[in-house]
Amino acid sequence: MAVHLFAGECIVFAIWSYIIITVKADDFCQIPGEYSEQSSENVDCQTYSNYRFRYILYDVNPPEGFNLRRDVYMRIARFVRKLSGEDGSWKLVLPPWTKLYHWQSADVGKQSQLPWRLFFDVASLQKFAPVVEMDEFLKEYDSTTIDEVFVLQHYKDAFKTGKWEEKYEIQPCVDEPRYRERADGGAGGFSGWFWGLPDVTARRVRCLSFHGHASQLQDTVQLHPHARTIMFDHAEVALHDAFGDRLYWMARRSMRFAPALRRIAAEFREEHLNSTDEADGTVRPDDWTAETAVTGTKGGPYLAVHLRRKDFVWGRPKEVPSVIGAAAQIKAHLDKLEMCAVFIATDAPEEEFEELKSHLTGYKVFHYRPSSAVKKRHKDGGIAIIDQIICSHARFFVGTYESTFSFRIQEEREILGFPPETTFNRLCGDGQKTCSKPSVWRIVF
Ligand code: GFB
């Protein structure tokens, strides 16, 4: 690594192999001996060695749905797991779930600032990365001001050159950020959208053009030894360090759903679909770290279909079938499998579901309909997870083209050890005699 320090211009260039960083010296607090030859006395930065923990926070592009957000979590969890390393001084703050575009039920109470424990088994997540819920963080941190916020953004030419280059750079914001400098100029210099939490502010907010893997965020952290809390907004800009390797799957396996949701799904399977873990061969160790590779899983005696409607109907008209087209494909699958029971997970309005059923007379069509108490307790997000769990346990699964909701089901089925030909299937658009199969991402232990 070569380091050039131009004192007059206050610019540090750190250049090594294929990484280029351009940073103004007053933008970043330098680590003596690492990026410059300054002695520690000259560095106007305080390290937080007197605190037990430092924290990484993050947020995601607002329109992104639940299941893409799960993927972003895995990228950041892997980064913080590595960052925390041996001394365990870093924690990852789980961003509360704010109201997502798809969570449209008006009869379930508040759907914002929801903790992760509503959907996931947080103790299980903690076996992969040192995560903490936002409410616990706010108690531990004893402040509501985040030291440094970096809004990640793509380079303007990121996808034009075709040349892979890991780089990052503080640059003017391309889009209007969700934060504004406060007129009162207090210690919490910026207010704005912090997961809808009214009191949270930031000392400093800057845009960071970023092209590379999530682990590259480590450089930004190291350049800020004074910061006890660092937030990365638009964390989806950072890529997976490695997609589909052992660590990827460890992160994925750690994302076990909340026990209450697993229980409801298990009851539904047993009551309506004649499906139990014992009979289906889907018993798993209580602790995901004790899991080993499984193959040839049988699953419950039903076909499961994820029929994504709403925005997918007009967004992907060639790839998403009409209701009648979907029914014809479901019938063909059931006949081929010599089965009569199908479970449908869908975001379709009730009329569309009834229409689908009307084309499937002679077959047993199941759909999970929660009681109003269950809906209020587990919200739209929890009901969607129950649908996903039921789909994950079916003997055969058919998903929707390019839906991350379907992808997460496929991953769950890989963890459970289903033969891939029972998992990586999709509904074709009307008029497509054959259509491309979903990419097959096999689990790695
Ligand atoms: O999860 P998600 O990102 O998957 O968004 P996609 C779809 C959301 O719709 C889910 C609801 O999180 C659920 O809230 N939903 C979809 C369902 N299918 C079902 C279902 O079968 N049962 C239940 N209960 N709920 C993304 C969108 O959708 O696709 C983005 O999030 C964008 O906004 C992108 O449109 C193209 O990947 O299917």
The residue ranges of every structural domain in the chain are 52-237, 259-422
Cβ–ligand 1 distance for 313 under 6 Å, the answer no
Centre of ligand 1 from the C-alpha of residue 66, in Å: 7
State which amino acid sits at residue 439: S
pLDDT of residue 187: 64
Containing H/E element for 392?
Answer: helix 372-392
Centre of ligand 1 from the C-alpha of residue 102, in Å: 7
Mutate to test the pocket of ligand 1, among 405, 406, 409, 412 (most ligand atoms within 8 A of CB): 405
Give the Å distances, CA to CA, from 242 to 16, 70, 246, 265, 324: 21, 16, 9, 32, 40
Question: Which atom of ligand 1 is nearest to 407's Cα?
Answer: 37
Question: Which atom of ligand 1 is nearest to 68's Cα?
Answer: 3
Q: State whether the Cα torsion 139-144-147-150 is positive or negative.
A: positive
Per-residue confidence in pLDDT tens, the chain, 445 aa: 222 222 222 223 233 333 333 333 334 444 333 333 333 333 344 555 557 899 999 999 999 999 999 999 999 999 999 999 867 899 999 999 999 999 999 999 999 999 999 999 999 999 999 999 999 999 999 899 999 999 999 998 766 667 778 999 999 999 998 999 988 766 669 999 999 999 999 999 999 999 999 999 999 999 999 999 999 999 999 999 999 999 999 999 999 999 999 999 999 999 999 999 999 999 999 999 999 999 999 999 999 999 999 999 999 999 999 999 999 999 999 999 999 999 999 999 999 999 999 999 999 999 999 999 999 999 999 999 999 999 999 999 999 999 999 999 999 999 999 999 999 999 999 988 889 999 999 999 9
Catalytic residue among 64, 140, 270, 291: 64
Centre of ligand 1 from the C-alpha of residue 305, in Å: 14
Instruction: State the fold for domain 259-422.
Output: Rossmann fold (3.40.50)
Q: Which two tokens stand for residue 308?
A: 């994504």
pLDDT of residue 432: 87
- Catalytic status, residue 64: yes
- The architecture that CATH gives domain 52-237 is 3-Layer(aba) Sandwich (3.40)
Cβ–ligand 1 distance for 197 under 6 Å, the answer no
Q: Which two tokens stand for residue 194?
A: 């912090």
Centre of ligand 1 from the C-alpha of residue 353, in Å: 16
Mutate to test the pocket of ligand 1, among 102, 342, 366 (most ligand atoms within 8 A of CB): 102
pLDDT of residue 69: 98
Centre of ligand 1 from the C-alpha of residue 363, in Å: 26
Angle ∠(99,105,107) on CA atoms, nearest 5: 115
Cβ–ligand 1 distance for 65 under 6 Å, the answer yes
Question: Which atom of ligand 1 is nearest to 307's Cα?
Answer: 21
Cβ–ligand 1 distance for 308 under 6 Å, the answer yes
Cβ–ligand 1 distance for 5 under 6 Å, the answer no
Angle ∠(266,270,273) on CA atoms, nearest 5: 110
How is the chain split among helix, strand and coil, in percent rounded to 5? 35, 20, 45
Atom 17 (ligand 1): residue with closest C-alpha? Answer: 347
pLDDT of residue 179: 95
Cβ–ligand 1 distance for 383 under 6 Å, the answer yes
pLDDT of residue 185: 63
Residue bearing tokens 């009648």: 324
Q: Which two tokens stand for residue 157?
A: 């030419």
How far out from the chain centre does Cα 191 lie? 25
Contacts of 109 (CB under 8 A, 6+ apart): 376, 379
pLDDT of residue 183: 81
3-class SS of residue 300:
strand
Cβ–ligand 1 distance for 63 under 6 Å, the answer yes
Q: Name the DSSP letter for residue 254.
A: T
The answer to whether 214 touches 204, Cβ cutoff 8 Å, is no
Distance CA 11, CA 33 (A): 16
The answer to whether 277 touches 315, Cβ cutoff 8 Å, is no
Q: Which two tokens stand for residue 100?
A: 């997502």
End-to-end CA distance of the chain: 35
Fold equal for 52-237 and 259-422: yes
Centre of ligand 1 from the C-alpha of residue 188, in Å: 36
pTM score, whole prediction: 0.90
3-class SS of residue 361:
coil
pLDDT of residue 85: 85
35 burial level (CB within 10 Å; 0-12, 13-18, 19+): buried
Give the Å distances, CA to CA, from 234 to 63, 114, 178, 435: 11, 19, 11, 33
Centre of ligand 1 from the C-alpha of residue 104, in Å: 12
Cβ–ligand 1 distance for 344 under 6 Å, the answer no
pLDDT of residue 165: 86
pLDDT of residue 156: 84
Closest CA to 77 of 220, 221, 229, 254: 254
